[in-house]
Chains A and B, each alone.
Chain A
């Protein structure tokens, strides 16, 4: 059974202190709506759903405002036990910005309650009515091989449901969400159950077909439970023991999923469907890093399992665009480098003219997503952001909580499925305008105006519990060091390549000072992310021969902390001056101002654009960034400063 569906894996997990946070909401006097929505945006289990629903109903009973959640009254008509469904819907609706009030009809009282203008349901004046009938409670009986009788039975079931809809229509005018019927896995004849008129599967297929036809073109909508049950597997969906135990219509393991699907429809009816998909590029739309691996190195091709995984996501995005979802790009990259696969890679499905706004720069992503939202004049609550990097997801989620951001599995083959399962683009009705919307926005892959940074980045970084580790080159790190030296193109000041043997030689070279740098944070271990080589070439000087870093950890203060570490060792060894060089390539524009930002002074510039920079070791002042520092393996090393003769 796939956890993707039963655990709503696209949602972040609930915080460990979920229960305590629920109590805090009740205790505090400040408005509860926003905090409830934050809690509801996690993947709650059955008991957590019920707990949060209690918080919502207690807040309401105390007369507290649930703003910014908008009120929605839902009546629930069912012929099974809905005692768990009602609170699950109430809690889940908050995820979609809705303060749901649930009114339930008595067990199996659907027809009576809908037809009686004075019934509890009709008096409540609901906005919507969920007609959630289980096949075990509708007038269906077998008529094996009797087509006419079978048709009469189908018409009888459809008539029963239509009668409820008519009653609601007349007495309250609410929108009906009509649930179709999942078919049980127990068969009488096998495959013939589908084909033979009057067999259960055949009957229920006909009912479902009739229901689907009956809602199109009306103000009522379909809730496709049959499709949902098939998605998770009928044998998982139907639990005979839970039905026997308490007439629970489906396995309670799927309560969170079911509630999410109902609430998506309510959200769609309320116009809360998301409209724009913002995509990261490296390791999201293709495998690899375009700035380092180049056009020939990224994985995006038919016939290669990894490449096809990314193609599947591109194909899904393209289909969404054809359905009217606006596509945008947010990537930490040089603009022309990021655009090159869209322009030149023969296997790419997505092209520049599919992208409405193309935001490739080195700003933090929250700032860029804000810019995209403003450029498109679409609110942040219309946006979905897909990024493989948990750091970026978490940052944007914290800074711009209105943006929906799916958690992604490790395997890119499941990216498209995960995005689809999250249901961000649920539509209740379909119009031609939906089709043309994307085209209206598209055509130019324009850049949005740069924005001021949103949110407090430092405070966020401090919450990441980062630890940076500095070590000199050693045998353990040798292979990875050589790999980084030969692969890194973007954050690479000099792009000097060295073989593994040359790297090994530096380990014991008394004129070399080397750093291999690792970073861990609350998301896990980023591994080795930076390499620095200094050479003592002149008395009192260290030449920074190599300084490179993985762009994945850009904007976290790693460069700054590296400089602090360098200064400390330089000072201990009597070095007076650090000399840095920037050698331009067509890939490393990002570090053109690296030394300037760190407080170095430019001392030389050549015709090819190479610049040389200096920093006085004693005078340099570098602010620390929020992370713990470990410095290992430097003791007892030979001094690497050339001494005066």
Chain B
């Protein structure tokens, strides 16, 4: 993940969970972040979609275990040619 995307994603986490102290690391998961419930997860994914101009499908969204997998998925989407 580029530094720029990393910064953008960190900002999104701070924004969605209203907590500026969150530091992204690959093994960070919902259990570690206050308020990361299923609805906040939806809000997180929708915010990433809007800010990064990508789309997740339900299968991808359901499988994510931690931030590492999320970053891998975003990287994958950002590098793939845009498909609408």
Residues in chain A within 8 A of chain B (CB atoms): 19, 45-47, 50-51, 54, 81, 83-84, 241-242, 244-246, 248, 252-253
Contact = CB atoms under 8 A, between A and B. Distances in A.
B50 A253 contact: yes
Nearest to B61: A245
B47 A245 contact: no
A49 B38 CA distance: 19
B43 A47 contact: yes
Nearest to B50: A253
Contact of A46 (B43, B45, B55): B43
Interface of B: 14-16, 18, 20, 38-39, 42-43, 45-47, 50, 55-58, 61
Given A241-B58, A245-B61, A83 B46 contact: no
B58 A246 contact: no
B15 A246 contact: no
A54 B16 CA distance: 13
B58 A47 contact: no
Contacts of A83: 39
Nearest to A248: B42
Contacts of B56: 241
A46 B58 contact: no
B16 A246 contact: no
A252 B46 contact: yes
9 contacts: A19-B14, A19-B15, A51-B15, A83-B39, A241-B57, A245-B61, A248-B42, A252-B43, A253-B50
Contacts of B58: 241, 244-245
A253 B14 CA distance: 19
Main secondary structure of the interface of B (DSSP, over half): helix
A47 B42 contact: no
Contact of A245 (B14, B16, B42): B42
A199 B12 CA distance: 43
Main secondary structure of the interface of A (DSSP, over half): helix
A242 B38 CA distance: 13
Given A83-B39, A246-B38, A248-B42, A47 B15 contact: yes
Nearest to A255: B46
A33 to B, nearest CB: 21
A81 B58 CA distance: 17
Given A19-B15, A245-B42, A248-B42, A47 B61 contact: no
A203 to B, nearest CB: 28
B42 to A, nearest CB: 5
Nearest to B46: A252
Contacts of A19: 14-15, 18, 20
Contacts of A50: 18, 43
Given A81-B39, A246-B38, 15 more contacts: A19-B15, A19-B18, A19-B20, A47-B15, A47-B16, A47-B47, A50-B18, A84-B39, A84-B43, A241-B57, A244-B58, A245-B42, A245-B58, A245-B61, A248-B42
The listed residue with most A CB atoms (<10 A of its CB), out of B15, B45, B58, is B15
B45 to A, nearest CB: 8
A246 B47 contact: no
Contact of B18 (A51, A245, A248): A51
A50 B39 CA distance: 13
A248 B46 CA distance: 12
A142 B47 CA distance: 36
Contacts of B16: 47
The listed residue with most A CB atoms (<10 A of its CB), out of B16, B38, B43, B56, is B43
Contacts of B15: 19, 47, 51
Given A54-B18, A241-B57, A244-B58, A46 B47 contact: yes
B63 to A, nearest CB: 13
Contacts of A45: 50
A244 B60 CA distance: 13
Nearest to B44: A47
Contacts of B39: 81, 83-84, 246
Contacts of A252: 43, 46
A86 to B, nearest CB: 12
Contacts of A81: 39
B46 A46 contact: yes
A105 B39 CA distance: 18
Contacts of A253: 50
A51 B15 CA distance: 9
Contacts of A51: 15, 18
B42 A246 contact: yes
A242 B46 contact: yes
Nearest to A47: B15
A208 B26 CA distance: 50
A248 B55 CA distance: 16
Nearest to B56: A241
